[in-house]
Amino acid sequence: MIKLGIVSPCYNEEEVLGSSINKLTELYNSLIEKGKITPDSLLVFVNDGSKDKTWEIIKNYHKSNKFVRGIDLAHNVGHQNAIMAGMMNTKEWVDGIVTIDADLQDDINAIETMIDNYEQGFDIVYGVKVSRTADPMFKRLTAQAFYKLQNSMGVESVFNHADFRFLSKKALDILEKYKERNLYLRGIIPIIGLNSTTVEDNLGERTAGTSKYTLNKMLHLALDGITSFSVKPIYNIVYLGIFFLFVSFCIGIYVIHAIIAGTSVPGWSSLILSIWFVGGFILICIGTIGVYIGKIYNEVKMRPLFNIKEILE
């Protein structure tokens, strides 16, 4: 029997939060009856600077629901940092933690299997999406393409896994040692190195509200995922530069041959095209290097990932 904590980041989730708390409460009661978890297990909701009534809902449920706890962050810090805040402030209260988004699109029935896997000796259990039909086609295709891109870049990650996972107290203590500012938990947790396994996660429809993960946020997360764990983009630029030198050498041979043969045609089109092309390529190179320099800038400042305004214990 395990004392379980479920950590759920919340940003403007007033439309769905009440329903989610009720579903998780039913799940807890069922797991307690089966002897899977202790009666003092926790549901911890992290309010990530919501502008609606999310925090008021959490406080009301805290008064009436014995499982519910709340963490109110001082301002919006983003999904990954909110999850980290919840885990680090909950790990001393429990034996293990499951992280899941407040909309409960992930399959909460898989949590029982996660607990069983923990009892069998696994410290990390990943929820892997076996069906993404609930996602829009664009999101589904881009997500799968991103996982493949990550693997090609040498980033150690679990295919089709987002942030629905179980971590034991041991895994959480190790995770606490990772101090980077640019958090990408999907890349950090697989390199912890403890025994891990996966469970099937059948993605469901969102019952209310809209997803807070906009295209801009997904692109930002994707960029963090690659640049925080792989230097291959820089090496690829070097290899591409060598290729361009080789092409330039071939063009030089062609130009010399054209001059000797008297077939060269003076013109400015090729010159202007070359300037624009090379100029664009240089800007891409500078931008890529700039991303890495920006990350170094953020890391050396050593600012806290989050500030907590209030904790409902």
pLDDT tens-place string over residues 272-292: 557 667 777 787 787 778 777
Residues written for the chain: 313
Q: 76: which residues sit within 8 A by CB, 6+ positions away? A: 11, 48, 49
Cβ(164)–Cβ(239) under 8 Å? Answer: no
Given pLDDT bands bounded at 50, 70 and 90, which one contains residue 96? very high
pLDDT in tens, 198-210: 999 887 665 555 6
Which run of H or E residues covers position 72?
strand 68-73
pLDDT at site 312: 81
Decide if pLDDT at 167 tops 70. yes
Give the closest residue to 181 by CA, choosing from 84, 47, 309, 97: 84
Of residues 299 and 269, which shows the higher confidence score?
A: 299
Tell me what percent of the residues of the chain surpass a pLDDT of 90: 44
Decide if pLDDT at 264 tops 70. no
pLDDT in tens, 27-76: 999 999 999 999 999 999 999 999 999 999 999 999 999 999 999 999 99
What value does the mean pLDDT take over residues 121-142?
A: 76
311 phi/psi in degrees, rounded to 5: -125, 130
pLDDT at site 183: 82
Rounded Cα gap, residues 19 and 54, in angstroms? 12
Rounded Cα gap, residues 80 and 60, in angstroms? 25
Instruction: Tally Cβ neighbours within 10 Å of residue 15.
Output: 16
Task: Count the alpha carbons within 13 Å of 154 in the hemisphere toward its beta carbon.
Answer: 10
51 phi/psi in degrees, rounded to 5: -100, 0
Strands 96-99 and 4-10: parallel
What the block records as the tokens of 136 is: 């829009």
Rounded Cα gap, residues 111 and 201, in angstroms? 10
Rounded Cα gap, residues 119 and 95, in angstroms? 11
Rounded Cα gap, residues 92 and 169, in angstroms? 8
The overall average pLDDT reported for the chain is 82
Say which residue the tokens 């092409």 belong to: 247
Given pLDDT bands bounded at 50, 70 and 90, which one contains residue 123? very high
Decide if pLDDT at 299 tops 50. yes
Give the closest residue to 176 by CA, choosing from 168, 292, 127: 168
Decide if pLDDT at 114 tops 80. yes
Task: Count the alpha carbons within 13 Å of 40 in the hemisphere toward its beta carbon.
Answer: 4
Please name the residue ranges forming H helices in the chain.
14-33, 54-64, 79-90, 110-119, 137-152, 169-175, 185-188, 215-227, 232-261, 269-301
pLDDT at site 69: 96
Of residues 1 and 230, which shows the higher confidence score?
A: 1
Q: Is-above-0.85 flag for pTM?
A: no
Of residues 21 and 206, which shows the higher confidence score?
A: 21
Cβ(86)–Cβ(8) under 8 Å? Answer: yes
pLDDT at site 244: 72
Cβ(100)–Cβ(199) under 8 Å? Answer: no
In the sheet with 68-73, reading across from the earlier edge strand, the strands are: 196-202, 124-131, 161-168, 96-99, 4-10, 42-47, 68-73, 308-312
Given pLDDT bands bounded at 50, 70 and 90, which one contains residue 269? very low
